Amino acid sequence: MRPRLFEETVLPHLDAAFNYARWLTRNDTDAEDVVQDACVRAIRYFSSLRDDDARAWLFTIVRNAWYSRVSRKANVAEGTRLNDGQDEWPDNALDPEERLLQQHTIALVRAALEQLPVDFREVIVLREIEGLSYKEIAEVAGVPVGTVMSRLARARERLQTILKLNAPRETLR
């Protein structure tokens, strides 16, 4: 196996890294800083990369870079808190279902995702948009697979509520 280059091993995943960071931070400037930090680390620790998992490896580093910025700022304020709170999402009703299917879809989905606690938002992005397996998400987020599963289920329940996808009556509970 010939030696690998950072440019061809890690850099192809820069868009994915940025997308992930952008959803973690919810703004462009912070996402850029996080990915920049992460890449400095990735370059430094490049030799520790096993051969088969550059993308998940980069996600893990992005998450660590983001986490150390958040805790350094001690800005565990609104929206960036790490615990998921108790079902306290804003009650501002979004539009009815048919409007979802029209031109506001993207804006509404984005708004819905952005009001999720970051732990929930992260599992949704990694699973639905990046297509990671439960095991890979668990490694990136540093939590057991069981936690990934329960976060995913709860995140989806919340999104369904925010986006008003739930049936009028809950018949199964």
Smallest separation (angstroms) from another protein to the CB of 128: 5
The Cα 58–Cα 56 span in angstroms is 5
50 vs 74 by CB, closer to another protein: 50
- What DSSP letter does each residue of 37-103 carry, written as one string? HHHHHHHHTGGG--TT-HHHHHHHHHHHHHHHHHHHHT---TTT-SS--SS---------HHHHTTT
Smallest separation (angstroms) from another protein to the CB of 85: 21
| Residues binding another protein (CB under 8 A) | 1-9, 11-19, 22-23, 28, 31-32, 35-36, 39-40, 43-44, 51-58, 100, 105-106, 109-110, 113, 124, 127-129, 131-134, 149, 152-153, 156, 159-160, 163, 165-167, 171-172
Q: Measured on CA atoms in the order 79, 85, 88, 89, is the torsion positive or negative?
A: positive
The Cα 103–Cα 86 span in angstroms is 32
Smallest separation (angstroms) from another protein to the CB of 90: 19
82 vs 165 by CB, closer to another protein: 165
Smallest separation (angstroms) from another protein to the CB of 122: 13
21 vs 70 by CB, closer to another protein: 21
Strand, helix or coil for residue 104: coil
Smallest separation (angstroms) from another protein to the CB of 74: 26
44 vs 73 by CB, closer to another protein: 44
Q: What one-character DSSP code corresponds to residue 128? A: I
